[in-house]
Chain A
Amino acid sequence: MVFQIEDIHKSFGKKQVLKGIDFSAQSGQAFGLLGRNGAGKTTTIRIIMNVFPADSGSVLLDGAPFSKSGLQIGYLPEEHGLYPKIKVREQLIYLAELRGVSGKKAKQSIDYWVARLGMQEYANRKLDTLSKGNQQKIQLVAALMADPAMVILDEPFSGLDPVNAALLKDVVKELIEKGKIVLFSSHQMSYVEEFCDAIAILHEGKIALSGSIQQIKRSYDRRTLVVRSLQPGPLLDFANGTLGGYLQSAEMRKNQVFLHMKEENCKAQVIEILAKEGPEIDSVAVYEPSLNDIFVQTAGDDNETKGGEAV
């Protein structure tokens, strides 16, 4: 299955929130929708969830117009909440029935997921007696219980301790293995990097950058070498001295020396000289920007985006 968003526009009153959003996600793949607060992530998700229609553009599944009734979507909203005064299991059954899962099947599925996330002892408690992390897990059960073909997780890791985060990681990996489409929205780039094959960075209602993470990283120039050594000081001196002819600049960050070369094709020579004449080194690698760096570069301009997240 290919899930595709094409040229979505959406305005609220005079405020244009989405100005032409395109991306596509595939079965068995996790797709990361990134963006700063107010960039339009939640609006995009709500259009997918058919909370409100887009002004123009289309949502397609395998090329055909997508309707929510044709496909179960599991949704974990960022602003999560359920009925605080009602027992967990009771409200999960209610939600499952609303989504068209029959009573018996709903119960089985809820019991499975509750057990999978280690929440058995909380199933018959009122929701407001649970901790924030446990409420988050209940919310996750709600997203997964209808066996959705597509799962939208909006900030799924917020509020989870490392143990629960690991559990959630397993679950997400399992979903990907089972061939679900996983749409992932997060500010925590490390998680995105870990799961997602492709990303789209939204900035001020537009896609600022999209594609597979690997390709995006490759698209950055490869003229910088990162050299690790136990003696970074002498290494930096050596770089500025002997290697000076090849380099634009050299700098030390966190005990690593970054060598910015004048041209890409002199990598081999620089490495050779380093190995033969330089101080002892542990490793040399071509620098690839982290997703975090890419995100900050793409979405981190000085123009504060205004307006609330939930519109």
Chain B
Amino acid sequence: MRQLGIVFRFELLGYLKRKSFIILTLALVLIVAVVLTWPRISAMLGIGQGAETPDEPERIALSSKVGDARQAADLFTQAFEGQNYLFEPLEATLPELEGLVENEEYDSAVQLTGPLSYTRVVRSIGMYDSFDEAFSEMLLSQFQAATMAEYGVPAEEIEQTLAAQTEVETVTVGSGKDQFRNFIYTYILVFLLYFAILMYGQFVASSVATEKSTRAMELLITSARPNSLMFGKVLGAGCAGLLQLVLILGTAFLFYNLNHTYYQDNYIVQSIFGIPAEMLLYTFLFFILGFFIYAFLYAGLASLVSRMEDLSTAIMPITYLFIIAFIVVMFSMGSGNVDNLAMVICSYVPLTSPMAMFTRIAMGDVAGWKIALSVVILLLSTIGAGVLSANIYRLGVLLYGNPPKPKEILRLLKSNK
């Protein structure tokens, strides 16, 4: 136990002192902080459509085939008040309007062609352009108001009718999820799980392989028990990974909360940070279990390798399994059904369940006992992987030459019992 502690501390400090680790962590933390503070920064610098420093209004040339353009322009300017559109009435044909816009005399132009139809002339439409939506809606309500007025409906009632809105409240029952709402944060967390598990698993693998290829193993193995060496190494890497994850997620939540007033209208960002606390706990649970089962297997396999060049070949089968799980999860998320057969199978198979079950919890319909079953299977497999890898490790660390074939490993394991 004491040795395990010493190995753990040495390995963990090894990560924390490593330049690449520090730089990567700082860079990620910085990026997250800046991205989440960006609306505040841009508001302060007056970039974008800040409310305090309005831009030049968008000048829109307005002509009409069906009525008085001047009257319509006044009406529209009034209706779009506060939205920075300036309608200027004009007698012009469509080609003339096109010419005016093209020559940049106007930002855009609108020709009314009927009570409910118009032609819009623009140089380009921005990504977040919502003019057509708002303009159509306004034309429609004017048309509706005019029609109702013709039928003799009092002005007050017209206003009330048009202002009426439906109120919707959705109740999800059982463990069903609003998949749309959960999609984005699930996506982000699955990515995080994928990269974190793969990266830290491979850190463990290359650390074992380095000790072997530099022949430090001979001294280590005669100074400490193999179990202390392997478990200390895996725990050290796991802690470093967890720390990085906590730092990044913590920074994200901190900066979201500092700037949350800027995100009141941003559905996407709100849905990300509206993640239930239990999902965060599941993230850590599945990171820890997923990391350990992969790290153990990676450590075991890496101990069979004598040269760094052989490492990636040795750990490939397991890496592929994880990538397949990732692809299944991504496809299922995209298809909108995360409870399909492939996902159900993947969510119980130990090496794929960290991602698959996590996704199903986040976006699908899984009963509590199924989650518990999957976690128990994963937990038992992780312990099994630990014991197996410790045995392989003890054999492998002093085995130099070509990596042995699976059959040989089994034979060695048996004969060494």
Contacts and interface: CB of A to CB of B under 8 A. Distances in A.
A242 to B, nearest CB: 61
Contacts of A83: 210-211, 214, 216
A80 B215 contact: yes
Interface residues of A, number: 27
Given A97-B6, A310-B400, A82 B224 contact: no
B28 interface: no
Given A13-B411, A98-B224, A99-B223, A84 B214 contact: yes
B219 interface: yes
A266 to B, nearest CB: 55
Contacts of B415: 13
Interface in B183-216: 210-211, 214-216
A98 B7 contact: yes
A49 interface: yes
B309 to A, nearest CB: 16
Nearest to B5: A97
B218 A81 contact: yes
A84 B218 CA distance: 14
Grouping DSSP codes into helix (H, G, I), strand (E, B) and loop, the A interface class, with mixed when no group exceeds half, is loop
B219 A49 contact: no
B216 A79 contact: no
B411 A51 contact: no
B398 A94 contact: no
B7 A79 contact: no
Given A46-B398, A51-B221, A310-B398, A82 B216 contact: yes
A77 B411 CA distance: 28
A67 to B, nearest CB: 13
A209 interface: no
A52 B215 CA distance: 17
A308 B399 CA distance: 10
A295 interface: no
Contact of B215 (A79, A86, A95): A79
Nearest to A103: B6
Contacts of A84: 214
Contact of B219 (A50, A77, A86, A308): A77
Nearest to B232: A98
A86 B220 CA distance: 15
A142 interface: yes
A39 to B, nearest CB: 18
Q: Point out which of B219, B221, B412 has the most chain A C-beta atoms below 10 A from its C-beta.
A: B219
B83 to A, nearest CB: 61
A139 B401 CA distance: 23
